[in-house]
């Protein structure tokens, strides 16, 4: 019998397993994750950064709405939800510093599956943010604003405008509601 075995050594098994694991990751990722944009690195020039709203995807829903061909969901962080539940802004009080809103817009389409005519989200259009910070945004009603437009073809976000005041002019018409359009509906 020969001294060389036809069985692989533990070291060669480990090396083969590592190479196979890397190949699987590359096959699954297809190089996309390496070049895909990390949305949390995008920032409005001289304004809000996407990273300031990390975790917004899991915030509670304030309301939904439709504007033209877009449907949207408005989400708020726990600080803002607590203020809404306490009656802000209807009670005349402002939202506390640390309040944050996210509004996700999708292009609308008709559902191909629902039994009745139903409008559902299609492709992502953009994501807007508001952050309440009375020190940082004292010149814009104590709110900072940001809009990040989404490009489906490149799977990337691009900031709209410059500075944290990019949404302020529109929101001045609801200054008496602490610059917030969206009411917290009865549950």
How is residue 5 annotated by DSSP?
A: -
**CA nearest 127: which of 37, 44, 36?**
44
**CA nearest 150: which of 118, 121, 109, 183?**
121
The answer to whether the pTM exceeds 0.85 is: no
45's tokens: 């020039």
Q: Which pLDDT score, from 0 to 100, does residue 36 have?
A: 66
Task: Give the chain's residues under pLDDT 50.
Answer: 1-5, 12-35
- Span 119-169, pLDDT tens digits: 999 999 999 999 999 999 999 999 999 999 999 999 999 999 888 888 899
């Amino acid at each position: 019998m020969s001294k060389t075995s036809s069985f692989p050594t533990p070291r060669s098994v480990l090396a083969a397993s590592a190479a196979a694991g890397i190949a699987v990751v590359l096959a699954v990722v297809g190089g996309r994750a390496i070049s895909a944009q990390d949305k949390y690195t995008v920032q409005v020039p001289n304004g809000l950064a996407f990273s300031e709203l990390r975790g917004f995807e899991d915030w509670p829903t304030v309301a939904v709405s439709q504007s033209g061909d877009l449907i949207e969901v408005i989400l708020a962080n726990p600080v803002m939800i607590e203020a809404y539940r306490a009656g802000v802004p209807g009670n005349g009080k402002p939202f506390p510093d640390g309040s944050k809103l996210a509004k996700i817009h999708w292009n609308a389409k008709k559902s191909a599956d629902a039994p009745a005519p139903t409008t559902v989200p299609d492709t992502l259009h953009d994501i807007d943010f508001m952050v309440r910070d009375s020190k940082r945004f004292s010149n814009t009603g104590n709110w900072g604003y940001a809009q990040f437009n989404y490009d489906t073809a490149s799977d990337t976000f691009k900031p709209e405008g410059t500075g944290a005041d990019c949404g302020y002019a529109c929101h001045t018409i609801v200054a008496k509601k602490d610059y917030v359009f969206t009411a917290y509906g009865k549950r």
